[in-house]
Amino acid sequence: MIIISKRSGSKKRRLSDKEIAERYKKGESTTVIAGEAGITPDAVRLVLKKMNVTLRPRGSWKRKYHVNEHYFKTWSNNMAYILGFFAADGMIPSKGQQISFAQKDMSILNLIKQELDSNHPIILNETTNVYILNLNSRVLKEDLMHIHGFTPRKSMSVQMPDIPGRYKSHFIRGYFDGDGCVYKDKLFINIVCGSKDFVHSLSEVLDEQTIKNQIKVFNNYFRLYISGPKDVQNFFRWIYEDKELYMERKYKTFLNLFT
């Protein structure tokens, strides 16, 4: 049965009763679930009561889970990678004190979770088949916004952060793992972005490494292409030099091209 949120008018709820109950039992807060479902926290609590789910005291999730809240204050190879990955596949909700990562590859979310010293659960959205890591932290949210310039609904307006030169390759590797693709049957790289400013900044970073690239404009997004054996190989070598965190599936695809 589909319930219509009183606040959202005719908008359909995006999670079923069962999904809401399962996510709550796994530890997600009613605020986070409400954001995913497109309803209010009070509506989430009504569903939980209907499903005979015992409600936790309000705010108890804050004590149950931990994370290194000051992680984005200090640059490192892995911090730059996660920042790039967040630029591609992260979200800052307008309401609530949390940040989220979403990816179909659960293994990379597990690595990010470990790096951030977090015990927050990774949830599968069965509707989209995407895994979601929600991190409840006001500090993480504020640091991403005030130190690194990210904003809610950033996909069309994200800006390239001010990245120290030694960490640029790690940031680009993170962004590539989130929104990039290398094709097995040809020497061809495709990176997608919704922000004009970001994709042009990315192109400038690649130009600094003498990696030829081309930007193509589509209806509401951009694609950056790298093609040809020399430039694809240079990109591969540059982003994986001194690598720590990386998506193994994409790295193996590169290896198969050049070995």
Residue 33 CB-half CA count within 13 A: 26
19-33, 74-88, 149-163, 243-257: range with lowest mean pLDDT: 19-33
Give the pLDDT confidence score for residue 185 in this predicted structure: 78
pLDDT for 8 beyond 80: no
Burial class (CB in 10 A: 0-12, 13-18, 19+), 224: buried
More confident residue, 206 or 21: 206
Give the pLDDT confidence score for residue 214 in this predicted structure: 97
Radius of gyration, alpha carbons of the chain: 20
pLDDT for 10 beyond 60: no
The percent of residues in the chain predicted with pLDDT above 90, rounded, is 69
> 88 vs 32, 49, 83, CA distance in Å?
20, 36, 9
197-248: pLDDT as tens digits:
999 999 999 999 999 999 999 988 999 999 999 999 999 999 999 999 999 9
User: Which single residue is written with the structure tokens 């606040």?
Assistant: 7
> 159 vs 127, 176, 205, CA distance in Å?
30, 16, 13
Give the pLDDT confidence score for residue 59 in this predicted structure: 60
What average pLDDT score do residues 84-107 get? 93
pTM equals: 0.78
Give the pLDDT confidence score for residue 24 in this predicted structure: 86
Is the distance from CB of 110 to CB of 132 less than 8 angstroms? Answer: no
Q: Which domains does the chain have, with CATH numbers?
A: 17-61 (no CATH), 165-258 (3.10.28.10)
28-65: pLDDT as tens digits:
788 888 888 889 888 999 999 999 988 876 665 555 78
Give the pLDDT confidence score for residue 30 in this predicted structure: 86
For residue 27, give the DSSP letter: T
For residue 12, give the DSSP letter: B
75-95: pLDDT as tens digits:
999 999 999 999 999 999 888
Give the pLDDT confidence score for residue 61 in this predicted structure: 55
SS3 category, 141: helix
Amino acid at 259: T
> 198 vs 150, 156, 174, 232, CA distance in Å?
12, 9, 14, 20
